[in-house]
Chain A
Amino acid sequence: MSHSVIWLLEIAIASFAGGLVGSLSGLGGGVVIVPVLTVFLHVPIQDAIGASIVSVIAVSSGAGSVYVKDRLTNVRIAMYLEVATALGAVIGAALLSRLVGDRALHILFGGVLLLSLLPVLAHLGKELPEGVKNDRLAAALRLNSSYYDHRLKRRVDYEVTGVPQATAVMGLAGMVSGLLGIGAGAMKVLAHELCMKVPTKVSTATSNFMIGVTAATAAGVYLRRGEVPPFLVVPVASCVLIGAFTGTRLMERMSNARVRQIFALALGGVGIEMLLLGLGARF
Chain B
Amino acid sequence: MGFDVYDASAWILRGGVLASIATMLVGLAESFREGIVSVELMQTRRFNPDLGAILRGAIRFDGMSLVELGILILVLTPILRVATALALFARERDRLYTVIASIVLALSLGSLLLAR
Contacts and interface: CB of A to CB of B under 8 A. Distances in A.
- Pick the 4 closest A-B CB pairs, nearest first: A212-B78, A86-B107, A69-B10, A65-B13
Nearest to B82: A213
Contact of A58 (B20, B28, B47, B96): B20
B90 interface: no
Most chain B CB inside 10 Å of its own CB: which residue of A8, A212, A221, A241: A212
B48 A226 contact: yes
Given A61-B17, A82-B104, A141-B96, A212 B81 contact: yes
A231 B41 contact: yes
A234 B13 contact: no
A238 B21 contact: yes
12 contacts: A57-B17, A58-B17, A61-B74, A61-B78, A75-B85, A93-B111, A216-B75, A216-B78, A229-B47, A230-B68, A232-B43, A241-B21
B67 interface: yes
A224 interface: yes
A256 interface: no
Contact of A90 (B6, B9, B71, B107): B107
A64 B67 contact: no
A171 B74 CA distance: 25
Contacts, number: 178
B33 interface: no
Given A79-B85, A83-B100, A86-B107, A58 B13 contact: no
Contacts of A87: 107
A237 B21 CA distance: 7
A219 interface: yes
B110 interface: yes
A231 B78 contact: no
Contacts of A216: 75-79, 108, 112
Interface string B1-42: 000011101110110110011001101100100000111011
Given A79-B85, A212-B77, A223-B47, 4 more contacts: A61-B16, A65-B10, A226-B47, A233-B71
Contacts of B101: 79
A66 B7 CA distance: 10
B6 A215 contact: no
B87 to A, nearest CB: 13
A221 B17 contact: no
Interface residues of B, number: 57
Contacts of B97: 76, 79
A220 interface: yes
A83 B71 CA distance: 25
B59 interface: no
A65 B45 CA distance: 31
B43 A215 contact: no
A234 B67 contact: yes
Contacts of B39: 3-4, 7-8
Nearest to B101: A79
Contact of B78 (A4, A57, A83, A141): A57
A183 to B, nearest CB: 11
Contacts of A75: 5-6, 9, 85
Contacts of B27: 234
A86 B104 contact: yes
